[in-house]
Structure 1
Amino acid sequence: MPKLDYMLSLLWLLRSRGKMTAEQLAEALEISVRTVYRYVDLLCQSGVPVVAEPGHGGGFTLPDSFRESPLFFDTNELKAMAHSARIASQAGYPFADALEHALDKISHRLNEDQGEQLRRHQAGLEAVPYSTSREIKRLLSDLEEAAAHSRVCCIQYANTTGDAERMRHIHPYRLAYRTNRWYVAAYCELRGSVRMFRVDRIEQLEVTEETFARPEDVTFIELARDTLAGYSKTDASWVTVRIGGDSDVLESIGNQYFVQPFLTKHMDRELRFEMPPSVMLTYMPHLLLSFGTLVSVLEPSLLGERISELCHEIAEHHTSPKLP
C-alpha cells in the first residue's frame, strides 16, 4: 500500500475508533510501531492536529473540533489536475471555470511542498485555445443537463447543404469532443434515427420538460458507427478496406469522424477498416482523393475503381466548356 494510503487509513482509524495506541494502529495497518510514529509525524506536518497522550491509558486521538481530512496527492495526481483544467479551458468545456475554482480550493489545502509542485506543473503546460466566432459553453451546459436528466430538446439546426434551418426535437444521448469540435449524439424525431449534431451549428436550443428513455452503456463511437452504417455489424455484406501510405497521412485519415468508427487496425504503414459498401463508396473516395498519391488502396479494387471514376468526373467538370 502506498505511503499516502497508509496515512489516510491511520487517520480514518482515529476518526472512527477514537483513541488508539501505536501498537493497536500498527496491528490494524499491519506495519511496524516505528512506522506508525513516522506517519503520525507526517500527518502533523500536513496540518492534522494529532494529539499524543503518553503513559498508561494514553494513545493517539483527534480533537473533537477536527472534522476535515487533509488532502494528499502525489506529483502525478497534482499534475493531472493542473493540466486537465488547462485543457478543459482550451476545449471550451462548459464547466472549466468550476474546475479552476475546485483546483484553487485544493491549492489552499496543500502543504508547502505540494503547493510548489502544483504551481510548477501549472506553468509547464499551455493549451492554445481554438479560434471560433461562436460561444457554445451555454449550449454545452444545457445539452449536458438535458442528457443527464433525459430531457427532450428542441433545436434549430443549420445544415452545411444550404438547406433552411429547421426545428428538430432531439433526445441527447452523449456529448463528445474531438479535433476542436463538440458533437452531440442524439435521436432525431424528424429523421426517426440517431444523428450526430455539431454543437456549433445549433442556432437555438430549448430544453423541454418531456423525457425520453436513454440507452445505457452505449459509447459515442458505437452510436456514430450504427448511424453511418444504418444497420448492424453482423450483416454479412460488410467489407474489408485496406489503405497504405505514409504514417502521418494514415493517422489523419484514421481520425476522420466518419470513418473512425470502422477502423479495426492501425499499423505504421497501413489502415484496415470493416465497413458496409455504402459507407465505403460514399465517404472513402472523396477522403482518399484529397491526399492524392500519398495513399494507395490495397483492398478492395472496387474502391480504387470508384476513385478513378471520380477523378475523371472532376477532370471533365474543370475542362468542359462553361456556359456564360
Structure 2
Amino acid sequence: MRASRLVSLLLLLQTRGRMTAQELADALEVSVRTIYRDVESLSAAGVPVYGEPGHEGGYQLLDGYRTRLTGLSAAEAEAVFLTGLPAAATSLGLAAVASARLKLTAALPAELRDRASRIAERFHLDTPPWYQGAEHTPHLAAIADATWNQHAVRIRYLRWAQPHEITRTVQPHGLVLKGGHWYLVARGDGQFRTYRVSRVLDADVLTGRFDRAEGFDLASHWTSYLSRFDQCRHRDTAVVRLSRRGLDRLPHLLEPVMVDAARRTATEPDAAGWTRVAVPIESVDVAATELLKLGADAEVLAPDDLREQIIRTVHEMNRVYGGRPASPHPRADP
C-alpha cells in the first residue's frame, strides 16, 4: 500500500509540478504528516525531490527529472481504455487520441494488452439521445483549441431571446458534453454564460492569451448552473390528481425534477386510489404537452389556464376522432 502511494506521489509531482504538502495529502487522502514521511523516503531513495518554504512554496522535482515507471495494474489498464472517448475527442479536434491509444496498447505486456482490448470490444459510448442524430458543430474544434490555449473567441450566436443573433467576445473556460449536445462555458463582461455550440454561427479565435478565473472548477460550475437553470425554467406549479397507474408511470414519462416533486408532495390516496401532487412547470404550453402523456390517468386541478388548455385539447381530439368510442375490433368501412 505504501509503495503504491509513493509511486502516486511521485507521479503527481511529475505531472502537476509544484504542490504543497496539504495538496498532496488531499489528493492521496492521507495526513500531511504522512506526506512529510513519504517525501523523506523518496529523497532517501535518490529521487530529486525538494521543498521550498513560504506561501508560494511546496514540493517539486528537480527540473528535467522524469520517472520511467511503466507498471500498470490490470484494473488500471482497463480503466485507461474505458475512459478513452475517441468520438468525443475527434469532435474536439484531438485526433491524436487514437494514435496515443495505439501506442499505449503496444507498450503494454501481452496479458494487459488483451484485457484492455476487451474493454473496447465490450463497451461503447453513444452520446446522442434516442431518435436524434449528432448535432452539427462546425466550430467545435476551433473553440476547443481556444479553450485549451486560453485564447478569447469572438462568436456570432443564435439565441432564443430577442435579438436572436448576437456577437460577443468571450473567454472560454470549458466545454461540456451533455445528452449529446456540446456546451461552452465562457466568461464575458465579467460573468459566466453557457452557450450551445451548435448555435454558434461563426467563431473567430483571437490572438493573445487570457488569464483563467482563479479557482474556477468546471464540474462544480456546471452542477450549479444546472440547478439554477431548473429553478429559472420552472416558474410555476401545477396541482394534479393521479391514479395509481399514473403515479407508477411518472418516471417513464416526465422529467426527473417533476417526478421528484410529485413524490415529495403526494398525499394519501383517496377511496378511489387517486393521489394529489404538486409539480413544477415551465409554461402552460409545455406543461400541457407533458401532462397529456399521462392520458386519463391524470387530472389537472390548477392553474386554471393549464386545466382549460388540457380540456380544449381533449375536445379537439374528440372532434378529430368523430366523438365515437373506440371499437374493440375496428374494421375498415366497406
TM class by shorter chain equals 0.5 to 0.7
Match of residue 292 from structure 1: 292
Unaligned stretches of 5+ residues in structure 2: 12-40, 47-65, 266-278, 319-334
Match of residue 259 from structure 1: none
Q: How does 1:1-324 map to 2 (within 5 A)?
A: 1=1, 5=4, 17=45, 68-75=68-75, 77-85=76-84, 87-90=85-88, 93-94=91-92, 96-128=94-126, 130=128, 131-132=133-134, 134-136=136-138, 137-145=140-148, 149=150, 151-159=151-159, 165-187=165-187, 189=189, 194-208=192-206, 209=208, 211=210, 214=213, 216-217=216-217, 218-226=220-228, 229=231, 244-246=247-249, 248-249=251-252, 253-254=255-256, 263=257, 266=260, 270=263, 280-283=280-283, 286-287=286-287, 289-294=289-294, 302=302, 305-311=304-310
Report the CA distance shift for 1:162/1:240 in structure 2 as closer, same or farther (over 3 A).
Answer: closer
Name the amino acid aligned to 1:246: R
| Partners of 1:91 and 1:307 in 2: CA distance | 44
Asked if the contact 1:79–1:118 (Cα under 8 Å) also holds between the matched residues in 2, the reply is yes
Cα displacement (A) at 1:70: 2.1
Structure 1 SS opposite 2:169? strand
Report the CA distance shift for 1:228/1:185 in structure 2 as closer, same or farther (over 3 A).
Answer: farther
Cα displacement (A) at 1:118: 1.2
TM-score by length of 2: 0.53
Asked if the contact 1:171–1:187 (Cα under 8 Å) also holds between the matched residues in 2, the reply is yes
| Partners of 1:317 and 1:142 in 2: CA distance | 52
Report the CA distance shift for 1:155/1:102 in structure 2 as closer, same or farther (over 3 A).
Answer: same
Name the amino acid aligned to 1:311: I
Cα displacement (A) at 1:201: 1.1
Asked if the contact 2:105–2:113 (Cα under 8 Å) also holds between the matched residues in 1, the reply is yes
| Partners of 2:45 and 2:264 in 1: CA distance | 59
Structure 2 SS opposite 1:292? helix
Aligned pair count reads: 241
| Partners of 1:229 and 1:145 in 2: CA distance | 31
Match of residue 275 from structure 1: none
Question: Over residues 241-289 of structure 1, what are the superposed CA-to-partner deviations in whole Å (9 max), with x where a residue is unaligned?
Answer: 9995525425x612xxxxxxxx49849x8478xxxxxx94534761562
Question: Over residues 62-88 of structure 1, what are the superposed CA-to-partner deviations in whole Å (9 max), with x where a residue is unaligned?
Answer: xxxx9622232223x322222322x45
Question: Over residues 88-144 of structure 1, what are the superposed CA-to-partner deviations in whole Å (9 max), with x where a residue is unaligned?
Answer: 515765165333333223222211111111122221123347433624441441353
Structure 1 SS opposite 2:80? helix
Structure 2 SS opposite 1:176? strand
Cα displacement (A) at 1:220: 1.0
Report the CA distance shift for 1:127/1:198 in structure 2 as closer, same or farther (over 3 A).
Answer: same
Asked if the contact 1:174–1:220 (Cα under 8 Å) also holds between the matched residues in 2, the reply is no
TM-score by length of 1: 0.54
| Partners of 2:99 and 2:174 in 1: CA distance | 25
Report the CA distance shift for 1:228/1:266 in structure 2 as closer, same or farther (over 3 A).
Answer: closer
| Partners of 2:121 and 2:315 in 1: CA distance | 55
Report the CA distance shift for 1:288/1:71 in structure 2 as closer, same or farther (over 3 A).
Answer: farther
Asked if the contact 2:86–2:98 (Cα under 8 Å) also holds between the matched residues in 1, the reply is no
Name the amino acid aligned to 2:79: A
Name the amino acid aligned to 2:307: S
Percent identity of paired positions between Structure 1 and Structure 2: 15
Asked if the contact 1:175–1:185 (Cα under 8 Å) also holds between the matched residues in 2, the reply is yes
